[in-house]
């Protein structure tokens, strides 16, 4: 004996279909928000026009031959060590949150020893993109990268 296809069957199929679609969309949206590692810029067109200049700055920094290492200490301060550069140096940094949830943090550094610098300000624990500038006279070594 054949069963009849009723309106209840159709409602169950439609409800199941849309339930799966909504569940998948919610899962993908939560995964996207939790893992976004991109950079937010105010004006993407202007940023694209400045890209070649950023590449030139990176080549200039590499040509200096300075080795710069950073470490985030347990007390929230950043330690920067520089090798191959004349001493003393001027070290500054700006830490910005990848999604702009937290305000940018400007960091200044004090010299602890030859080639060793420590931030005056503490940086709250979170994901940050650090724009670091190490200068000696007219020479500037710049980098930008994520710290966690």
Domains plus CATH for the chain? 67-147 (2.60.40.3340)
134's CB contacts (< 8 A; 6+ apart) are 66, 68, 80, 82, 85, 89, 90, 91, 140, 141, 142
DSSP 76: S
What does the pLDDT read at residue 39? 62
In this prediction, residue 121 has a pLDDT band, given cuts at 50, 70 and 90, of very high
- Alpha helix stretches (DSSP H) within the chain: 7-35, 44-64
For 26-84, write each residue's pLDDT tens digit.
999 998 887 766 666 778 888 888 888 878 888 888 888 899 999 989 898 999 999 98
Q: Looking at residue 37, what DSSP letter applies?
A: -
């Amino acid at each position: 004996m054949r069963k009849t296809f009723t309106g209840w069957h159709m409602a169950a199929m439609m409800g199941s279909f849309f339930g799966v679609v909504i569940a998948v969309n919610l899962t993908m949206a939560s995964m996207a928000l939790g893992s976004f590692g991109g950079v937010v810029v105010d004006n993407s067109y202007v940023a694209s026009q400045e890209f070649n200049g950023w590449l030139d700055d990176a080549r200039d920094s590499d040509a200096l031959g300075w080795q710069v290492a950073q470490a985030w200490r347990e007390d929230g301060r950043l330690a920067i060590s520089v090798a191959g550069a004349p001493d003393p140096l001027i070290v500054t940094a700006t830490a910005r949150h990848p999604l702009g949830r937290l305000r940018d943090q400007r960091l200044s550094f004090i010299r602890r020893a030859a080639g060793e610098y420590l931030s005056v300000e503490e940086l709250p624990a979170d994901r940050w993109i650090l724009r670091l500038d190490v200068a000696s006279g007219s020479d500037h070594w710049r980098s930008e990268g994520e710290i966690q």
